[in-house]
Amino acid sequence: MNIYRTKKTVGTIILHLVVAFIGLIMLFPFIWMILGSFKYNKDVLSIPVNLLPPEWNFASYKNAFAAGPFGRYYLNSVIVLVFALVINVVTCTTSGYGLAKFKFKGRDFFFTLILSTLMIPIQTIVVPLFVLISKMKLVNTYAGIIIPLSLSGFGVFLMRQFFYSVPDELLEAARIDGAGEFYIFRKISIPISTVAIISLTIFHSQYVWKNLLWPLVVATKTNLRTLTVGISLFSGVFFTPYPEQLAMSVSACIPIVVLFIFLSKYFIRGTAMTGIKG
């Protein structure tokens, strides 16, 4: 018995060390980015590479905000994220609920069609999507950025998988009591699916916040640029100010990191309940 416990303890320690090592490898680029934001420009790309700044530069963040409309980029990203997220949650929950709890002709076909969109890279549809948005006269508007980023085939799949776990007997009991379908959806299904909705919120927030290609294509005006576009186009007259660029990148990571920290337990529970493994 003691030998078994010793082997189990040693195995657990080894497993924790391996996980910690992999975690450090994944965290290294972020650590380098944070420390690089406190270096001077000459030290960022110096050879040999120094992880710690030889001289600490605490003016990078102030210079980054003073160098351009960085605050406006931040505001634009927040506006796009909030509206895209609200639209996405509404469309995905209603679509997922309908595909899971209602039987109608063509249901499986529509669900297969929605899933097929996951296999189409965004790069292949940028041109026709831009032509469509242009004909709708939504180029250089918030709506032109938000609407394409609001739809998610993965979100529909996620919510459908969760609603399948909601007992049909519970919904039937509500119908027998005289409750309407919208009341059942709003008062019974939605409260039960809170964990899945939080998971969807984290997934889609990350997708919208870090998206670069579509905002870069559809918004050419400076006052409509999002944070990712602003960072990618940020440069000096004769050189690239790397510390300021890294400072902007660190600032851009903060909202998503904070969101995940506060909602991580719901995220893990939600992905487990929907059967998604990553």
DSSP the chain: -HHHHHHHHHHHHHHHHHHHHHHHHHHHHHHHHHHHTTS-HHHHT-SS--SS-SS----HHHHHHHHS-HHHHHHHHHHHHHHHHHHHHHHHHHHHHHHHH---TTHHHHHHHHHHGGGS-HHHHHHHHHHHHHHTT-TTSHHHHHHHHH--HHHHHHHHHHHHTS-HHHHHHHHHTT--HHHHIIIIIHHHTHHHHHHHHHHHHHHHHH--HHHHHH--SGGG--HHHHHHT---SSS--HHHHHHHHHHHHHHHHHHHHHHHHHHHHHHHHTT---
pLDDT for the residue numbered 267: 62
pLDDT for the residue numbered 82: 93
Band (pLDDT 50/70/90 cuts) for residue 275 is: very low
57-115 pLDDT tens trace: 888 888 887 777 888 888 999 999 999 999 999 999 999 998 888 888 888 888 888 88
13-47 pLDDT tens trace: 888 889 889 988 888 888 888 888 888 888 887 77
b/e sequence 31-47, b meaning 16+ C-beta within 10 Å: eeeebbbbbbbebbeee
151-183 pLDDT tens trace: 888 899 988 888 888 888 888 888 888 888 888
Q: Is the pLDDT of residue 273 over 60?
A: no
Band (pLDDT 50/70/90 cuts) for residue 278 is: very low
228-272 pLDDT tens trace: 888 888 765 566 788 888 888 888 888 888 887 877 776 666 555
Between CA 174 and CA 77 the distance in angstroms is 41
Band (pLDDT 50/70/90 cuts) for residue 130 is: very high
Amino acid residing at 260:
F
Between CA 226 and CA 82 the distance in angstroms is 13
pLDDT for the residue numbered 58: 84
**Assigned token pair, 176:** 């027998």
pLDDT for the residue numbered 146: 94
- The CATH H-level (homologous superfamily) assignment of domain 60-273 is MetI-like (1.10.3720.10)
Q: Which of 2-6, 13-17, 129-133 has the lowest mean pLDDT?
A: 2-6
